[in-house]
């Protein structure tokens, strides 16, 4: 019997899509402005998932170098047909709606072809594309009709669909409107499935926040018309006290026991009002049942966290695929020739859109990172980032060590002198100490330094400031090392965490 862990993928892994090919399952998620883009995880049992590669590993596949914050790789759909993996996605405010292919999900993937409007004037306007084939091979791209550019930017047209010539990557018709849900805001994340001769259109509605949910309709054709399921929404945590909230944006698949499953996004909010989600949107899974009337039902998402983890990196070999950078690839910054991770500052800081930064997702609600650092020839340090407006860091160089909190233009610093040499920088995310009342924050950051064996706590920062609700971010916490000026060397990385 399969154990369904929740989260299925910890940390910043939103908008999941899953497909079975052979005897394995492949799962893709969004990455927004980070590279490498669109991670692909593989599992043979739906319990243990391995990161096997990324879709976007080369310049030009995604035009994220200049996208604004919250732009970039939005909401993939991954499918497999005739020995080929297909992935469609919107590079929001970048290239547009794209179709990638690969014969091996680990890559390499194609450069990505724009899905053009019928008149060839540019990319189809929309997000969250789905790709499906009917019995005669006709290709349908179904998507959420959010316009991202031009005079009508921000206008939402509901769920849309076009037939596409996949050889020329051009729509064969003007967009048609499909069933767009039960009236909830922001219909998105459409997926089409043919089950027992019927076509099911599953979407998310209610927005990706607390009102998020999944609804479904069915018809005799992928083009509709569609009949609304009487029990919609199929799943939602709205107005409940469940530990996993914002559940929605799901994709269906048959699991290892022959039972149907739904992978979907959710968050784990904490604090007195359970209002702050430190790690952002994560990937979850829940069972699906087909009822006698031919409609599916989806169970509420149950929290079932995995054991804690410890990651130790000595930087004496190439960086694994978990390392990501902002609007650039880790290889653009990381120099490993000396057996350490060396970064060369260029004057940019974490306030800039493209800092010299290499990091990993924070995967656990309680988390500690220590990095051994030599900043004798530069300025740099260890940071937790949501975006250029929200980050905390411990920075060394030029005769001092500084803890810093940057909260949307508000900056506070705590500094001690440092004579130079090697030191350990620490950022610990932990539950607040009991006060006898309701906890008013989900976690706190301890920003510390160890010099000559003596550890000094520089500052404690309220973790609510780095949550998806405060930052209004689609991503999550990413912890990494960075350089501002000169040459900064990082010799060892240790990250430990759990979800107790």
Q: Encoding tokens for residue 322?
A: 């978990």
Spatial CA neighbour of 100 closest among 38, 143, 162, 22? 38
| CATH code for the domain of 346 | 2.60.120.200
pTM reported for the whole predicted model: 0.97
Active site residues: 15, 188
Phi and psi torsions of 332, nearest 5°: -70, -20
- How many domains is the chain partitioned into structurally? 2
Instruction: Tell me the pLDDT tens digit for each residue of 452-463.
Output: 999 999 999 999
Task: Give the pLDDT confidence score for residue 500 in this predicted structure.
Answer: 79
Is residue 2 included in any domain, yes or no? Answer: no
Q: Encoding tokens for residue 217?
A: 């309709």
Instruction: Tell me the pLDDT tens digit for each residue of 425-474.
Output: 999 999 988 877 777 888 999 999 999 999 999 999 999 999 999 999 99
Beta strands in 273-421 (DSSP E): 282-290, 296-298, 309-313, 325-326, 341-344, 356-361, 366-387, 390-397, 400-407, 410-417
256 and 330 fall within a common domain:
no
Is residue 303 included in any domain, yes or no? Answer: no
User: Which of these three, 298, 330, 353, is where a domain ends?
Assistant: 298
Task: Give the pLDDT confidence score for residue 150 in this predicted structure.
Answer: 81
413 and 279 fall within a common domain:
no
User: Which of these three, 298, 321, 336, is where a domain ends?
Assistant: 298
Q: Please give the average per-residue pLDDT across 57-69, as a whole number.
A: 95
Q: What is the dihedral of CA 357, 74, 258, 233, to 10 degrees?
A: 130
Is residue 150 included in any domain, yes or no? Answer: yes
Q: Write the DSSP string, 409-438.
A: TEEEEEEEE--SSEEEEEEEEEPPPP-SS-
Task: Give the pLDDT confidence score for residue 1 in this predicted structure.
Answer: 83
Is residue 486 included in any domain, yes or no? Answer: yes
Is residue 1 included in any domain, yes or no? Answer: no
Q: Angle CA(349)–CA(350)–CA(355) in degrees, nearest 5?
A: 70
> Which residues, other chains included, contact 268 with Cβ-Cβ below 8 Å and sequence gap of 6+?
7, 243, 244, 245, 277, 278, 279, 282, 303, 365
Query: What range defines the domain where residue 406 resides?
Result: 309-498
d(CA 123, CA 150): 13
Is residue 290 included in any domain, yes or no? Answer: yes
- Residue 285 contacts residue 46 (beta carbons within 8 Å): yes
Task: Give the pLDDT confidence score for residue 437 in this predicted structure.
Answer: 78
| CATH code for the domain of 52 | 2.115.10.20
Spatial CA neighbour of 87 closest among 166, 8, 148? 166
């Amino acid at each position: 019997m399969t154990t369904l862990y929740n989260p299925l993928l910890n940390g910043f892994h939103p908008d999941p899509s899953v497909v079975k090919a052979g005897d394995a399952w492949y799962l893709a998620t969004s990455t927004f402005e980070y590279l490498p883009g669109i991670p692909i995880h593989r599992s043979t049992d739906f319990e243990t998932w391995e990161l096997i590669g990324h879709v976007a590993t080369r310049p030009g596949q995604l035009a994220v170098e200049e996208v604004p914050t919250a732009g970039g790789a939005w909401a993939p759909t991954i499918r497999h047909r005739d020995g080929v993996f297909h992935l469609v996605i919107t590079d929001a405010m970048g290239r547009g709606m794209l179709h990638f292919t690969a014969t091996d999900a680990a890559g390499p993937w194609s450069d990505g072809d724009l899905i053009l409007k019928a008149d060839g004037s540019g990319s189809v306007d929309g997000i969250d594309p789905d790709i499906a084939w009917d019995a005669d091979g006709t290709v349908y791209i179904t998507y959420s009709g959010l316009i991202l550019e031009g005079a009508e930017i921000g206008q939402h047209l509901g769920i849309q669909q076009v037939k596409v010539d996949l050889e020329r990557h051009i729509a064969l018709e003007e967009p048609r409107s499909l069933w767009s849900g039960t009236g909830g805001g922001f219909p998105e994340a459409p997926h089409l499935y043919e089950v027992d001769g019927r076509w099911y259109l599953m979407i998310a509605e209610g927005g990706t926040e607390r009102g998020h949910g999944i609804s479904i309709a069915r018809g005799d054709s992928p083009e509709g018309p569609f009949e609304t399921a009487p029990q919609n929404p199929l799943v939602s945590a709205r107005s409940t006290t469940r530990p996993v909230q914002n559940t929605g944006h799901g994709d269906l698949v048959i699991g290892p026991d022959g039972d149907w499953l739904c992978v979907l996004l959710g968050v784990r909010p904490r604090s007195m009002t359970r209002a702050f989600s430190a790690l952002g949107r994560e990937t979850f899974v829940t069972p699906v049942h087909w009822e006698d009337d031919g409609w599916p039902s989806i169970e509420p998402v149950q929290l079932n966290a995995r054991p804690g983890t410890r990651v130790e990196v000595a930087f004496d070999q190439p960086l694994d695929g978990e390392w990501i950078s902002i609007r650039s690839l880790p290889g653009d910054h990381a120099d490993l020739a000396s057996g350490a991770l060396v970064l060369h500052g260029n004057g940019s800081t974490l306030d800039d859109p493209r800092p010299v930064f290499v990091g990993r997702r924070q995967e656990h609600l309680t988390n500690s990172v220590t990095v051994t650092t030599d900043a004798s020839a530069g300025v740099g340090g260890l940071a937790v980032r949501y975006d250029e407006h929200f980050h905390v860091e411990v920075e060394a160089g030029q005769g001092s060590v500084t803890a810093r909190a940057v909260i949307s233009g508000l900056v506070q610093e705590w500094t001690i002198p440092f004579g130079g040499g090697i030191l350990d920088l620490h950022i610990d995310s932990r539950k607040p100490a009991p006060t006898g009342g309701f906890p008013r924050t989900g976690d706190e950051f301890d920003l510390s330094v160890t010099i000559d064996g003596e550890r000094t706590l520089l500052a404690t920062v309220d973790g609510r400031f780095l949550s998806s609700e405060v930052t209004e971010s689609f991503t999550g916490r990413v912890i990494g090392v960075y350089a501002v000026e000169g040459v900064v060397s990082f010799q060892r990385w240790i990250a430990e965490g759990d979800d107790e």
